[in-house]
Every structure is written in C-alpha cells, then in structure tokens.
Amino acid sequence: MKKLILTLMVIAFGFYSSAQSVLQTEIDKNIPAMINAQTTTDFDIIFNNISKLRGNNREIYYYSALALMKKIQILQAENKLSLGEGDNYIAEKYALSSYNIGSTAIETEILLGFIHLERLLLNPKNAAAEKAIIDSYIEKAKKLDRNHPRLLLLQGEVAYFIPENLGGDKQKAIEFFQASVKSFKANKKQALGWNWGQSDAENYLNRHLNAITSNQIH
C-alpha cells in the first residue's frame, strides 16, 4: 500500500513538474516580444497572451502588470495618458497578486512604484498622496537593494516628473539615470531574466545630452 501511494505521489509530482515547465515556456515565449514591443497594441497582445495563462506562477501576474505599465508609458509619450487610467488599476491588481505570491519581492515593489507614478501623473490632484505611496515602495525596495538598477530608474523618473513642491528635481533625476545605467552594466542579468528599464534610463540621458548640445548651438 505504501509503495502504491509513493508511486502515485511520484507520478503526480511528474505531472506537476511537466505542467510548470510548459507554463514557464509559454511565459518565456512572450519575453522577446515584450523587449521589441513598440506600440500600445503590441503590449495589449502581450498582456492577453500572458494573463490568460493559468497557474500559481508569480511571473504571470508580474509580466501582465508590466505589459500594461509599459503600454501606459507609450500613451504618456503620445500625450494620450488619460486613456490609460483603466489599465493602470488593472496593472496594480496584477502586480499585487504577484507580490502576494512572494519571491523576488523587490521587483514587485519597484513595479508598484512605477504604477503609482503613472497614477500620480493621471491624477495630479492626488499627487501628494500618490507620492507618499511611491516613497513607501521605494523605501521597502531600498532595504533589499538600494543599488538595484530599476529602483534607481524609478527614483529618477519620480524626480523627473513630479512637481518641484513634491521634490521634483531634473538634475537629481539625471544623476539617478546615470547610476541606473551604471548598475545595469555592472549587473548584466537581473531577476526575471530581462533587463527592462535599461533602454529607458539611456534614453533619458540621451535626451538630456541632446538638449545640452542644442542649447550650446543656439
């Protein structure tokens, strides 16, 4: 009897491991697409592909939230930020689910910080309250790794986008972006297997340098 139970347990574990492997493969398929995504439609497709997966895997929730957060960044760049309000709340829901599963908590702390920065920009009247929430996530992340490149990027974007009366400081933002790029280069492979954010930090620095060059020419 004991031998039969043990055999059944081994078979069940084999099925579970196989299912988890298939699930991880499906998640990993979408990472190259996310790296190369350029439009809101691209990120909608990625979100739909990942969020429909079933399983208690934190990466499903994390990447679903990340896809929507990146989509809203594109809307912001296109001056269509108001169109992202609904997705912002959905992104938070998925990120919190990732957080509740645990593991790699710093990544979720940082992602939630970005999500609330977008909410601050969506609802400027609530800027002070949102800034306090962002600060709480930053402080939690700093206790885990204050030199994490995405944390430095988040701090840079906060300093870059928020009003001066709440601590906005463009020059301080540039310093954070420089530190972020340096940290990305020193840590070639970050958790979750994708260095998202490095190109963002580099783009902010390039814009800053281009602005300086333009001012010198004129």
Give residue-wise pLDDT tens across range 132-149: 999 999 999 999 999 999
Does residue 6 surpass a pLDDT of 50?
A: no
Q: Would residue 20 count as lying in a domain?
A: no
Closest C-alpha among 107, 160, 116, 163 to residue 135:
116
Can you give the residue range of the structural domain that contains 125?
Answer: 37-217
Does residue 150 surpass a pLDDT of 60?
A: yes
Q: Would residue 62 count as lying in a domain?
A: yes
Does residue 17 surpass a pLDDT of 60?
A: no
Q: Would residue 8 count as lying in a domain?
A: no
Does residue 14 surpass a pLDDT of 60?
A: no
Q: Would residue 30 count as lying in a domain?
A: no
Does residue 10 surpass a pLDDT of 50?
A: no
Q: Which tops the pLDDT comparison, 121 or 208?
A: 121
Tell me the one-letter amino acid at 54: R
Q: Would residue 10 count as lying in a domain?
A: no
Q: What per-residue confidence (pLDDT) applies to 9?
A: 43
Q: Would residue 32 count as lying in a domain?
A: no
Does residue 70 surpass a pLDDT of 60?
A: yes
Distance CA 12, CA 197 (A): 39
- For the segment 171-191, the average pLDDT, to the nearest whole number, is 88
Does residue 189 surpass a pLDDT of 80?
A: no
Calculate what percentage of the chain has a pLDDT beyond 90: 63
CA 98 to chain centre: 12
Average pLDDT, the chain: 84
Per-residue pLDDT band at 54 (split at 50, 70, 90): confident
Q: What per-residue confidence (pLDDT) applies to 19?
A: 41
Q: Would residue 147 count as lying in a domain?
A: yes
- For the segment 23-43, the average pLDDT, to the nearest whole number, is 81
Whether the Cβ atoms of residue 137 and residue 112 lie closer than 8 Å to each other: yes
Q: What per-residue confidence (pLDDT) applies to 32?
A: 77
Q: Into how many domains does the chain fold?
A: 1
Inter-CA distances, 129 with 85, 90, 119, 153, 166, Å? 17, 19, 10, 21, 10
Q: Would residue 155 count as lying in a domain?
A: yes
Distance CA 34, CA 6 (A): 42
Does residue 55 surpass a pLDDT of 50?
A: yes
